[in-house]
Structure 1
Amino acid sequence: MKIAIVGASGHIGSAVVREARDRGHEVTPVARDASSLGNGVDADVLDRGSIAGVLTGHDAVVLAVKGPETVPAAVRTLIDVLPGIGVRRLLVVGGGGSLEQAPGRRFVDSPNFPKEYLAEARAQGEALDLLRAQGGALDWSYASPPPVHLVDGERTGAYRVKAGDAPISGADTRITIPDFAAALLDTLEEGSFVRERFTAGY
């Protein structure tokens, strides 16, 4: 599979690049400054003309960007651009704050949600809303880690995934970044969770 990873210089994006290459996929790492990436491409996902040229010819696009202003704008751009260049598969690496701690009650809306992550979590929730409302021309998936416990660590391969707006439940609700990256690649390879949000954890 030929996969473009937008935001490849970030913590999660770089883990997805490694996982995809380890599985033998043809990977195009994309970042605003790709100088540190092997075979990386400089491109701004918000520049529709340049990003369309970079993403043309790929089987799938993984979006792994951050920033309260960048995330919804990037999703909106790809919703508009990808159908016109013949790319249907989009996997958005989203946040866990918009998962629900109870039906209709998101973690991000709790008064105890950490203020330093509030703007980012709300932006990630807006991106999911955009996909659900306007992403009908794409085979999109939106991946949420656990609400808090996405951690550094080893790749174990022993994670669980499920569709929906509730986090994985159980005694150990964290997941390491390498395992989260592996769950993302599983989703692309299996063609699962199309037009769905899913989450992963132990």
Structure 2
Amino acid sequence: MKIGIIGATGHVGSFLTAEALKRGHEVIGIVRHVPKTIRESNLTFLNKDIFVLTNEDVKDFDVLISAYNAPEGEEVQHVKAMKHLIEILKDTSVRLLVVGGAGSLYVDDKLTTHMYDTDAFPDAFKPTSINMGKALDYLRESKDVRWTYLSPSADFLVNGSRTGKYKVGQEQLMLDKYGKSEISMADYAIAMLDEIEGPEHQQQRYTVCAV
């Protein structure tokens, strides 16, 4: 497939890029700053900010992954970015896969309390989590875009192991066999590429956790 990855050189984006290339997909990294040294020889770049992407830029992709993360103090940009992506993808056949947040996952069976609503949730992370949650709500209301939103577990580990194993949930925060809510970025990337290659969560948010 031809896969565009917004934020391909960021933390999560780098794992997604590596996993997609490993599986033989054509990957175009969409970044504001093209790195001077490129580790992956078969990776090409589109040097553009997310907010100036056009329908012409993305219409030939099979999949567009957004690993966009708003700067500190500008967290409301998550909503703006989502609105822009929906607008340029409207009425195309391109699938949108979004690297979501864990803060908007629910911690109760009635699905009334988000993780960011709890006393234990750090105040510093609330602006990002709340605005990512608003962006998800906006995405749910869209009618003309094929989308999937993948939330990680509470602890999203840059240096975690690539085990190739994960378990899947829907709207609730999950725990592994040790009572921890965590997933490595490497295993998260595996989960997202599995979804791209074998769609099971179209027009849905879901989550993954270590086993």
Give the conservation status (yes or no) of the 8 Å contact 1:19–1:181. yes
Alignment of 1:54-73 (within 5 A): 54-67=57-70, 68-73=75-80
Q: What's the counterpart of residue 107 of structure 2?
A: 101
Alignment of 1:110-121 (within 5 A): 110-121=118-129
CA distance in 2: counterparts of 1:146 and 1:139, whole angstroms: 24
Q: What's the counterpart of residue 50 of structure 2?
A: 45
1:188 Cα offset (Å) = 0.7
Give the conservation status (yes or no) of the 8 Å contact 1:146–1:167. yes
Q: Which runs of 5+ in 2 are unaligned?
A: none
CA distance in 2: counterparts of 1:116 and 1:70, whole angstroms: 16
1:201 Cα offset (Å) = 0.6
CA distance in 1: counterparts of 2:188 and 2:64, whole angstroms: 17
Q: What's the counterpart of residue 183 of structure 1?
A: 191
Across the aligned residues of Structure 1 and Structure 2, the Cα RMSD in angstroms comes to: 1.5
TM-score of the pair, normalised by structure 2? 0.88
CA distance in 2: counterparts of 1:168 and 1:64, whole angstroms: 22
Give the conservation status (yes or no) of the 8 Å contact 1:71–1:124. yes
CA distance in 2: counterparts of 1:117 and 1:172, whole angstroms: 19
1:53 Cα offset (Å) = 3.0
1:137 Cα offset (Å) = 1.1
Alignment of 1:132-171 (within 5 A): 132-134=140-142, 136-147=143-154, 149-151=155-157, 152-162=159-169, 164-170=170-176, 171=179
CA shift digits 1:77-133 (9 cap, x unpaired): 11111125x243100101000001112000111232111111111111011101111
1:172 Cα offset (Å) = 3.7
Q: How many residue pairs get matched?
A: 196
Residues 169 and 153 of structure 1: is their aligned pair in 2 closer, same or farther, counting only changes over 3 Å?
closer
1:169 Cα offset (Å) = 3.2
Q: What's the counterpart of residue 96 of structure 2?
A: 90
1:17 Cα offset (Å) = 0.4
Give the conservation status (yes or no) of the 8 Å contact 1:45–1:51. no
1:145 Cα offset (Å) = 0.5
CA distance in 1: counterparts of 2:14 and 2:99, whole angstroms: 12
**Residue type of the alignment partner of 1:176:** S
TM-score of the pair, normalised by structure 1? 0.91
1:9 Cα offset (Å) = 1.7
Give the conservation status (yes or no) of the 8 Å contact 1:5–1:27. yes
CA shift digits 1:157-179 (9 cap, x unpaired): 111122x2102234242111100
Q: What's the counterpart of residue 26 of structure 2?
A: 26
1:54 Cα offset (Å) = 2.4
Q: What's the counterpart of residue 5 of structure 2?
A: 5
Runs of 4+ aligned residues of structure 1 deviating over 4 Å after TM superposition are none
1:69 Cα offset (Å) = 2.9
Q: Which has the higher helix share?
A: 1
